Amino acid sequence: MQADFIIIGSGSAGSAMANRLSEDPANSVIVIEYGGSDVGPFIQMPAALSYPMNMGIYDWGYRTEPEPHLGGRVLAAPRGKVIGGSSSINGMVYVRGHAEDFDTWQEQGADGWSFADVLPYFQKMETSHGGQNGWRGHSGPLHVKRGTRDNPLFQAFIEAGAQAGFELTEDYNGEKQEGFGPMEQTIYRGKRWSAANAYLKPALKRPNLRLVKGLARRIVIENGQATGVEIQRNGKPEIVKANREVIVAASAFNSPKLLMLSGIGPAGHLKEHGIEVAADRPGVGQNLQDHLELYVQQECTQPITLYSKMNLISKGLIGAEWLFFKSGIGATNHFEAAAFLRSRPGVRYPDIQYHFLPVAIRYDGTAPVEAHGFQAHVGPMRSKSRGNVRLRSADPDAAPVIRFNYMSDPSDWEDFRHCIRLTRDIFSQSAFDGFRGREIAPGEDAQSDDELDAFITEHAESAYHPCGTCRMGRADDPMSVVDPRCRVIGVDGLRVADSSVFPMITNGNLNAPSIMVGEKASDHILERQPLPRSNLQPWINPNWELSDR
C-alpha cells in the first residue's frame, strides 16, 4: 500500500485534509483510522450526544492520572475512535475562538496564523445559517446553524444577562464575541454534521482517496525522512508507504504518543522506554491545555424542562420522530444559548464561557435530582495550568499517561469562584423570577471561598478540549514541535495538523479551530499561496479597562 500523502486520523483536521488534498486527481491519499463506522442513531442523532463518548466502540476510553489539585480524582478524557474522530462524539457546539487568540498564536511564534490569516479559512469551511454577513462563509462543506430556542428558559438566560448589565451579541462567531446570545451547532438537516459527513464521505467517492482501517504503531523514518507508517491491520503489521508526506492528525493525546513511539520527543523519556531517538524535541507532549467547567444547577418551578422527556416512553417517541423525520427535540444538542464574558476590568476580551441547558443533568446523561431544573456550564477560558502527555511504555497498544495538572495555578481557584458567584448573579435576575426554584448545585449552603473550593475540587469536569501537545512555533524554539507550516522540526516529510499544534487554547469549543487547522495546513502541504488576509476588525468592548460588562 502506498500513496503520496498518508493522513493518520479521520477526525476534525484529518477529514478536512483528506478532502482538500484529494481535490487534485494527481494526488493519491490514504487515511488511516483505527475506529469503525459512524453509522447509527447514537452518533447521528444530535440529542443522543451523551452516549457515544461513553461507549468503548466509539471512544478511546482514556483517563487522566489522579489529579493532585482535584483531590486525586481520575477524570475521563474521551477522544473519538470512529470515522470522524472526536467530531463524531462531541457536543456539536461551534465556536471559532476570539480574534485575539489567533493574534496570540502569532506572538508565540506561529507566524502567519494571526486572526487576519485564519479568518479566510473559517469563511472557506463554513456554510453559515443565520450568521453575520461579511464575517461568515456561505459555500463551505461545514453547515453551522442555531437552535430554535423554543424553550422560554433560553430567552430568560439571555435577558438575565442583559439585566445584569452585560452585552448581547447576535453572532459570537462574527464581529463581536462578547455577550449573551444564540449558540451555534454543527447540525444539518437534523443530523450531526461531523467532519466525516462534511468532508470525508463526499471525498471518498474519489478514486484517489482511500480509507484504511488499522492502528498506526509508528512512523517509519529513514535518514531523517518520514517514508511511511507501520500499522497493525487484521492482527499483522504492515507498512503503508508515503511517496511525499506523512501527516499526523490523531488528537492531542495520540499525536504526541505516535511521535514519541517513532523516536521524536524528549530524548531522556524515549531512552527510558528503549526507543531510538530520531529527533530530540523536548516539547513533544508538553503544553497540554484544556477547559475545566462546573455545572451551576437550579430547580425550575415550571414543568417545562427536558426532565419530563427522560422516561423511556418519551425517549422512544423522540427517537421515532428523529428516525423518520429528522425533526423534533432529537434534532438538537439542546445547547441553544451561550455567553462569552470578561471576568474583571482590565481583561481585554472574554475569558469565561457559558453553555446554557434547559435541564439539570451531567454530561454522561445522569441527573443529580429527580426534578425539573436548568443549568449553566461555566468555566474560565485561559487557565495558566499546563500538563503533559507521556508514554506508558513502548507498546503502541498502551494508553498514554495523561496529566493535566488542573487547578495547579492559584489564579484558577479565584477564577472559578468568580464564575460561580457570577452565575448566581445572572440566575437571580428578574428574567428568571417565574422559573427559579432552589439552587441544586453548588447549593445555597456553599458561600465562603473554602466551601466553593470544596465544591470545585469535587465537581469540576473537563469540557473535553485538550490541545497544545505538539506546539507550533518558531523553528529555533526548542519547545516548538512543528514550524508555522505544520512541519515537524528535525524530520523531513512529516507534519502534525490537529488541535495538538495550538500554541494556546482558544476561547470556546475546539472543533471549529481544529477543522480550520486542517484547511490551512492543506494549503501549506500543497505549497499553495495562503488565502489573502482579512482586514476585518473584531469588536473590543470600549469599557474593557474600566468594567467587566
Domains of the chain: 1-142+187-287+466-527 (3.50.50.60), 148-182+292-380+408-459 (3.30.410.40)
Strand 2-8, strand 29-33: pairing: parallel
- Annotation marks residue 465 as catalytic: yes
Residue 307 φ then ψ, to 5°: -55, -35
Predicted local confidence at residue 123, as pLDDT? 98
Q: Cα dist. 167→64, 223, 357 in Å? A: 37, 57, 20
| 3-state secondary structure at position 241 | strand
The secondary element (H helix, E strand) that includes residue 494 is strand 494-496
- What would the grid cell of residue 418 be? 468568580
Strands (E), 365-518: 373-380, 388-390, 401-403, 436-441, 461-462, 494-496
Predicted local confidence at residue 465, as pLDDT? 98
Average pLDDT over residues 149-162: 98
* CA pair distance 175, 197, nearest whole angstrom: 28
Average pLDDT over residues 490-510: 98
Percent of the chain with pLDDT over 90: 97
| 3-state secondary structure at position 349 | coil
* CA pair distance 462, 466, nearest whole angstrom: 9
Categorize the per-residue pLDDT at 262 as very low, low, confident or very high, splitting at 50, 70 and 90: very high
Average pLDDT over residues 67-90: 98
> Is 25 flagged in the annotation as binding?
yes
Percent of the chain with pLDDT over 70: 99
- Angle between the 410-427 and 449-459 helix axes, to the nearest 10 degrees? 100
Residue 499 pLDDT > 80, yes or no?
Answer: yes
Categorize the per-residue pLDDT at 370 as very low, low, confident or very high, splitting at 50, 70 and 90: confident
Contact status, residue 206 vs residue 30, Cβ threshold 8 Å: no
Amino acid letter, residue 363: Y
Residue 169 pLDDT > 80, yes or no?
Answer: yes
- Angle between the 115-125 and 99-107 helix axes, to the nearest 10 degrees? 130
Residue 426 pLDDT > 80, yes or no?
Answer: yes
* Catalytic hit among 69, 334, 355, 465: 465
Average pLDDT over residues 504-531: 98
Which ranges in 374-465 belong to alpha helices (H)?
A: 410-427, 449-459
pLDDT tens across 222-249, in order? 999 999 999 999 999 999 999 999 999 9
Categorize the per-residue pLDDT at 206 as very low, low, confident or very high, splitting at 50, 70 and 90: very high
Q: Which of 176, 410, 158, 455 has its CA nearest to residue 293? A: 455
> Is 28 flagged in the annotation as binding?
yes
Contact status, residue 490 vs residue 281, Cβ threshold 8 Å: yes
| 3-state secondary structure at position 105 | helix
Predicted local confidence at residue 362, as pLDDT? 77
Work out the mean pLDDT of the chain and round it to a whole number.
97
> Is 21 flagged in the annotation as binding?
yes
Residue 364 pLDDT > 90, yes or no?
Answer: no
The secondary element (H helix, E strand) that includes residue 316 is helix 312-325
pLDDT tens across 116-148, in order? 999 999 999 999 999 999 999 999 999 999 999
Average pLDDT over residues 64-92: 98
Predicted local confidence at residue 365, as pLDDT? 67
HSE-up (13 A, CA, CB side) for residue 409: 13
Neighbours of 37 (CB within 10 A): 14
* CA pair distance 481, 495, nearest whole angstrom: 10
> Is 90 flagged in the annotation as binding?
yes
For 199, residues 6+ apart whose C-beta sits below 8 A from its C-beta are 15, 16, 18, 19, 141, 142, 515
Average pLDDT over residues 529-542: 98
pLDDT tens across 7-20, in order? 999 999 999 999 99
> Is 234 flagged in the annotation as binding?
no
Categorize the per-residue pLDDT at 363 as very low, low, confident or very high, splitting at 50, 70 and 90: low
Q: What is the pTM of this model?
A: 0.98
Categorize the per-residue pLDDT at 368 as very low, low, confident or very high, splitting at 50, 70 and 90: low
Predicted local confidence at residue 361, as pLDDT? 86
Average pLDDT over residues 478-488: 98
Burial class (CB in 10 A: 0-12, 13-18, 19+), 168: middle
